[in-house]
Structure 1
């Protein structure tokens, strides 16, 4: 998924706009609740603000797979349908980018780092054309920053086994392959400590969807200080 990085006209937070959403559209800021008008050839402008509790409710409904209910809540709260759909799309993108780095994405990141380093070396040697390589090597890895942060955060965190109690299908996305997005209500049994419940948000390849069932067991990492942070490591047999 390609993304255009924009900033909120109200709070300055970054917005990530999937190209599948029309450029001339309403777009919600998940940070401050602003409702922005995204323009094709100019920066976003503030349309109105949405109460923080309404934004939180809309997000919760989307994560519960209740998109129609979210649309109805939006209508009652003065949030247009297109903005609710944009919110849902933003939540889906957030699930994808909040996962850890995969071996393939690590290899891609190293490739672009090599392009950047090679471009810098050529520029220093007097080859002005290599500025293009420097720019590419600096910009293309940007989508990997959040997965890298997740990977680093997972290091050293305690592990556990998550058993799926309920499965909610949230939607699908076309990347290099088609992935289905799921919210799993899980019971996490830590390697040491008391079990606890939580929600595990995971993108699943289409070929692995049959394994996304109640009773499935997954190895996870979690933050004992913030148990909303539960991340998938691998599926267990």
Structure 2
């Protein structure tokens, strides 16, 4: 059972898209999670609803909305195309779709981690004269690090498995936008393609299990370091 060139290319693109989606989404997800966990403001419920909307919408609907907003016939899409930053039918569009679909999972994990931190610890550090950024960096961030890691892994896994929004927004172009789920779907449409599809499924499982193992290892190390302090 040896993956063919198309399978390796689809895996490479999936990893590339997933890594970029995770790197781009984590800082924004952390900021939104902090807003929702630590602040009360007008529109908080609306923001929470918008963040979680991709979880309840069919992925194809999300992809269609992205196509309507960033497609080459849309004003914003044409403007981006003129700058050489077109997203539709390009791997960067797959990154955007993955960010949107994984964002709610990231925010939820990080928000729960932030809410689990006792605000009195932060207040105590502030009373000792530490500025806000120092309190966050030295007190809050180490305590919520496992939650950030969990959110990042969940976002990465969602990006690796994203299919509906991606294929609707960027299509299924081999070597350009064909991620591993799209390649599996394509193989299943071809008579006798079940064998190649099963090989790609195994590749996907290996990547997913590896991501979980790495996450658990890092989380344990972070927790042990916090306990030693």
Give the TM-score taking structure 2 as reference length: 0.27
Bigger fraction of residues in helix: 2
> Higher relative CO (CA 8 A, sep ≥ 6), structure 1 or 2?
2
Return the structure number with greater strand share. 1
